[in-house]
Amino acid sequence: MAALSTIAILAVATLASLFMAWTIGAGSSGSTPFAPAVGARAISVMRAGFLVGILGLLGAILQGANVADAVGTGLVGGLTLSPTAATVLLLLAAGLVAVGIFTGYPIATAFTVTGAVIGVGLGLGGSPVWSKYAEIGTLWLLVPFVGGGVAYATARVLRHESVPERYTIPVLGAIIGLIVANIPFTLLGSGAGGASIATATTTGLPLSSTVGQALASLLVAALVAGALVWDLDAGVESAERHFLLALGALVAFSAGGSQVGLAVGPLLAAFQGSSLPISVSLFALLVFGGVGLLAGSWMGAPRMIKAIAQDYSSLGPRRSIAALIPSFAIAQVAVVFGIPVSFNEIIVSAVVGSGFAAGGAGVSKRKMANTVLAWVGSLALALGAGYAVITLVEAL
């Protein structure tokens, strides 16, 4: 009888995880990556929603392991989340995010899920993991300043008349190439976090690892810069559009790698904490969560894409490029260190930073204030509600 009850709870937890993945795809990971490109009229809303779903699925499979493990096992010490606890926190977090989707305000998924996991874990008697909280909090606090600041500086350079695009665009492309060469991919390494292109392509060469990775990174950077130089010769506007779409694709891929862990991390803990002899691989859960992201992106992302692209700032191609570059870099930092991070916070901060480079044109301060309140409120509400609900469930 107990086994049947546990199976039923795991089934509900699985459905809750799928719903959570759907809401993430429809909200943060599905809407934010291509929002600047849509705002710059480089791609349509519906096409952006289609592409971001495919790219999010690939990112979830190739880069989702670190964040999934951190969310599932690294936020509360001294216990493993039970199937009941995972079900409670997933339903609670997904419900809050869904409210944000249908009201038009981008609730920060990472804030909500993190708050729910910590609240439920503490309610079960777990101990706080202060070192992890400090790591997460530091990144969350730095995102608006670093992302917005880099976007502002990049937009100012791109808008400066004395610096032609034929020089700035290839340099920015080279920076992106350096990052791409050094980000981890699960299939390239034997460890849980995978290996980078620079590492995988130089393994076995008669060079030290540092020299080999540096040379490989520079080669990738040179190839990207060269491709952009060639594209610029055909036309500056078309080259800017191509670069913008490539950046949107990279951010969408990164969103899948970061956000899928918010949905499947608690489910991973639920299976590990189950008394049943059931073993589910992390890879299978990442595929499962990636499919949920894909479905959410295709079904619900267009509404939020429109909200972010049009309500926050009227972006041109150069300001959009400026917004996406720091967004991609910050997302990959979060993936490498296994930190749950809000893509809404990343993108919105960068969009605002690039908007202020043009004198603040098109930036709605009231909308931004409401969004920040929604972020803080979602964290506090999820934490408090998670603690209260699991305490009530355990009492019953």
pLDDT tens digits, one per residue of 300-309: 777 667 666 6
Count CA atoms closer than 13 A to 121's CA, side-chain side.
Answer: 25
pTM: 0.87
Taking 70 as the threshold, does the pLDDT of residue 55 lie above it?
A: yes
Give me the percent of the chain exceeding a pLDDT of 70.
86
Task: State the DSSP H helix or E strand holding residue 185, giving kind and residue range, or none if neither.
Answer: strand 184-185
What confidence tier does 313 reach under pLDDT thresholds 50, 70, 90? Answer: very low
Please tell me the distance from the alpha carbon of residue 265 to that of residue 262, in angstroms, as a whole number.
6
- How many other C-beta atoms are found inside a 10 Å radius of the C-beta of residue 254? 30
Report the pLDDT averaged over residues 10-37. 79
What confidence tier does 2 reach under pLDDT thresholds 50, 70, 90? Answer: low
What confidence tier does 286 reach under pLDDT thresholds 50, 70, 90? Answer: very high
What confidence tier does 312 reach under pLDDT thresholds 50, 70, 90? Answer: very low
Tokens of 232: 């610029």
pLDDT of residue 217: 93
- The mean pLDDT value of the chain amounts to 83
Give me the percent of the chain exceeding a pLDDT of 90.
27
Report the pLDDT averaged over residues 175-201. 84
pLDDT tens digits, one per residue of 130-157: 999 999 999 998 998 999 999 999 988 8
The string of DSSP letters for 197-240 reads HHHHHHTTSSS-HHHHHHHHHHHHHHHHHHHHHHHHHH-HHHHH
Report the pLDDT averaged over residues 348-369. 70
Please tell me the distance from the alpha carbon of residue 87 to that of residue 69, in angstroms, as a whole number.
17
